[in-house]
Amino acid sequence: MEIVVFLLFALLALASAVVVVSHRNPVYSVMSLVVTLLSLAALFVLLGAPLLAALQVLVYTGAILVLFLFVIMLLNVGRETPSGGTGRGQKIGALVTAAAFGLVVISLLWGRFVGIEMPALTVEYVALKPLARTLLSKYLLVFEMAGLLLLAAVIAATVLARKVGKSRGETV
Amino acid sequence: MIDPTEFWLLAPEIFLAVAAMLLLVAGSIGRGVRNRPAAAVALLSLVATALLVLWAYGKGGSSEAFLAGMFVLDSYALFLKLLLLIATGLTVTISGRFLEEGGYRPGEYYSLILFAATGMLFMVSGYSLLSIWISLELMALSSYILAGYFKRERKSNEAALKYFILGALSSGVLLYGISLLYGATGTVHVGELAARLGDLVSTGEQPILIAVGWLLLAIGLYFKVAAAPFHVWTPDVYVGAPTPVTAFLASASKIASFAILIRILFEALPALKADWQLITALVACISMIWGNLAALTQDNVKRMLAYSSIGHAGYILIGVLCASEEGLWAVLFYLLAYAFITLGAFGTVIILEQREYAGETYSDYAGLARRSPFLAASMLVFMVALTGIPPTGGFFGKFYLFAAAVEAGWIWVALVGVLTSAISLFFYFGIVVQMYLKPSEDTTPRPMPAVGLASTIAICAIVTVLLGLVPGPLVELAKASLIPLP
């Protein structure tokens, strides 16, 4: 049963991810990204991390992708026009690189998995309270640094979005 | 698990971040701050941060990581933090001109510089792949915007976009490698990672998960230090970005990236030493050859310096791949010398620039010795130093690196280094020939540059020569700032 559910969502995630990069209409791309992220959320549930799944749905599908849609619709982005910049050599190069990397990943899956034995996720690991405790004790420094990073990102977005004056004398 | 008093040792980083935020607030009240006060505040906070770094090191400096193993304040971090603060300070002093002439707001500019510097301070102290990665992103994100700060210029927009896309790609590669290593070992802590990798590797068969993981990690880092063949972003970004920002990227950003490259290779991956030595040797040779050959064909001085910085990344990697004491302190010496040389060279380019991008070609330097002897003399010092000719810091930097390589048995790599240095003579001295031997079409003497800019160039030139005359003290300092060898 579990393997069926896994295969279903894994294939769904892969297929919709292909649509994200291949479709020319950005709205369709975003909608398939929603499917990808929802399937990943389902996989998180299978792995025994329901909180992560809930966060994935809330933050990614709920907030970020809706924002994507807003931006695309507000900017009225049409179908992606072929830019002509991608030459033949570039395409071949991309394919060869992708194939090489794919081979590496496949051999990684085929090879015997050697690594540290990790305990299975239990409630003590993934419930909200222990998660919050870990985040604010062991990972406190990283947590605060992420806050700083987000602040820098906000400043960056503001600087980029500010209107540019035409003449050189004008303050930008 | 965390002792709250340990946060006192983060005082320099916290102070710098707060200073960045205050500058930001000051810049957005009313008409904003003017360039001079903003630069003064930025400089003062960098000086205060340097003092706080010394204080924190005196209070709790040791090679033991704290804050749950995320942060380390060893002598290696101390050396690099002070060096990064100096490089950032010199960047601030050469930034005024383009902000004033272009009418760009200084508040956000200096604030972003300080944010990037905060990220760098965290980077060199990072002792967990997680904290290293997040601080790297803090630096990178600020740099993307700085590269696009000339918002009216298409070239600057292009630089920011290219830098952002390729930077995001390389960060993704880096993170992918980290996640694979985490999958294999179950830890991101540098020390634990080394121990567990050692156990796994010593069992005989090296799992492919680890091989792919560390390779992706290393590739991400080579991207960040702009080593060939992962350098494609460098020339366009260096040319398109405002020149002070280019100087910042070529000095401070490069130093911080090398700091984490060395920390990760030496302290997290000692078990894979033979593997990464070989890969680093290849990357070093490709960088030296490609960087120097491509620089030969350039007509734009900024683009030439961009390719030359790729070549210099190759020279520094020589010291890294030795994995010996000599190699490591040679790298630290070189990073310091290179920071001063680069900042000085780009500072001179800034003075000669007119209307944002003009005045950057070789022929614009014709007859400079007649028009401005000071600028020509300092540019001469920087070009001599970049080539690696005595009596400059560049000579000893290269000499120590090559000597370390020979001692560690990497003679062929040192040979490539010597040969490519000989090639570099042609393009560095192309500028010297223009300055001293070619007549100038424009005979008006140049107006004296602003005091801040001129004194920065003078300081850089003096330090470059001093390092070539008395390298001893710095060598002793670098020798005291080593991390455990793999």
Q: Is A115 on the interface with B (CB under 8 A)?
A: yes
How far apart CA B365 and CA B442 sit, in angstroms, is: 10
CB-based contact B396:B334 (threshold 8 Å)? no
Residues in a beta bridge with B189: B128
How is residue A124 written in tokens?
Answer: 């003590």
Which residues of B are less than 8 Å from A113 in CB distance? 207, 209
What is residue B27's predicted lDDT score, i.e. its pLDDT? 81
Q: Is A15 on the interface with B (CB under 8 A)?
A: no
Q: Tell me how far apart the 2 most distant CA atoms of chain A are, in Å.
A: 69
Weakly modelled stretches of chain A, pLDDT under 50: 169-170, 172
Residue A141 and residue B131: Cβ atoms within 8 Å? yes
A contact test, residue of B29, B152, B164 with most A CBs within 10 A: B152
What is residue B199's predicted lDDT score, i.e. its pLDDT? 85
A–B interface: beta-carbon pairs under 8 A:
118
How is residue B352 written in tokens?
Answer: 């000669």
Residue B68 and residue A140: Cβ atoms within 8 Å? yes
Domain A1-78 in CATH 1.20.120.1200? The answer is yes
What is residue A2's predicted lDDT score, i.e. its pLDDT? 82
CB-based contact B322:B408 (threshold 8 Å)? yes
CB-based contact B89:B251 (threshold 8 Å)? no
Tens place of pLDDT for every residue, chain B, 486 residues? Answer: 677 788 888 999 999 999 999 998 888 787 777 888 889 999 999 999 999 999 999 988 888 888 888 899 999 999 999 999 999 999 999 988 878 887 788 888 999 999 999 999 999 999 999 999 999 999 999 999 999 988 888 888 899 999 999 999 999 999 999 998 888 888 899 999 999 888 888 876 656 778 888 999 999 999 999 998 898 899 999 999 999 999 999 999 999 999 999 999 999 999 889 889 999 999 999 999 999 999 998 888 999 999 999 999 999 999 999 999 999 999 999 999 999 999 999 998 888 876 556 677 888 888 888 888 888 899 999 999 999 988 898 999 999 999 999 999 999 999 999 999 999 998 999 888 888 888 776 666 666 677 888 899 999 999 999 999 999 899 999 999 888 888
pTM score, whole prediction: 0.91
For chain A, the structural domain boundaries read: 1-78, 123-172
Closest approach of B68 to chain A, Cα-based (Å):
5
Q: Are strands B71-73 and B62-66 parallel, antiparallel or unpaired?
A: antiparallel
Which residues of A are less than 8 Å from B1 in CB distance? 137-138
Cβ-based neighbours of B337, under 8 Å, separated by 6 or more: B385, B393, B394, B396, B397, B464, B467
What is residue B112's predicted lDDT score, i.e. its pLDDT? 94
How far apart CA B68 and CA A141 sit, in angstroms, is: 9
How far apart CA A130 and CA A125 sit, in angstroms, is: 6
Closest approach of A148 to chain B, Cα-based (Å):
8
How far apart CA B316 and CA B468 sit, in angstroms, is: 18
How far apart CA B320 and CA A8 sit, in angstroms, is: 48
Q: Is A75 on the interface with B (CB under 8 A)?
A: no
What is residue A172's predicted lDDT score, i.e. its pLDDT? 47
Residue B131 and residue A164: Cβ atoms within 8 Å? no
What is residue A169's predicted lDDT score, i.e. its pLDDT? 47
Cβ-based neighbours of A137, under 8 Å, separated by 6 or more: B1, B2, B68
Residue A114 and residue B67: Cβ atoms within 8 Å? no
What is residue B448's predicted lDDT score, i.e. its pLDDT? 65
Nearest to B352 by CA among B422, B265, B442: B442
How far apart CA B243 and CA B351 sit, in angstroms, is: 10
Find the closest chain A residue to B116 by CA distance: A152
Q: How many CB atoms lie within 10 A of CB B249?
A: 27
Which residues of B are less than 8 Å from A111 in CB distance? 207-209
Closest approach of B129 to chain A, Cα-based (Å):
10
Which residues of B are less than 8 Å from A114 in CB distance? 184, 200, 203, 205, 207, 209
How far apart CA B381 and CA B468 sit, in angstroms, is: 11
User: How would you classify residue B68: left for phi > 0, otherwise alpha for psi between -120 and 50, otherwise beta?
Assistant: left
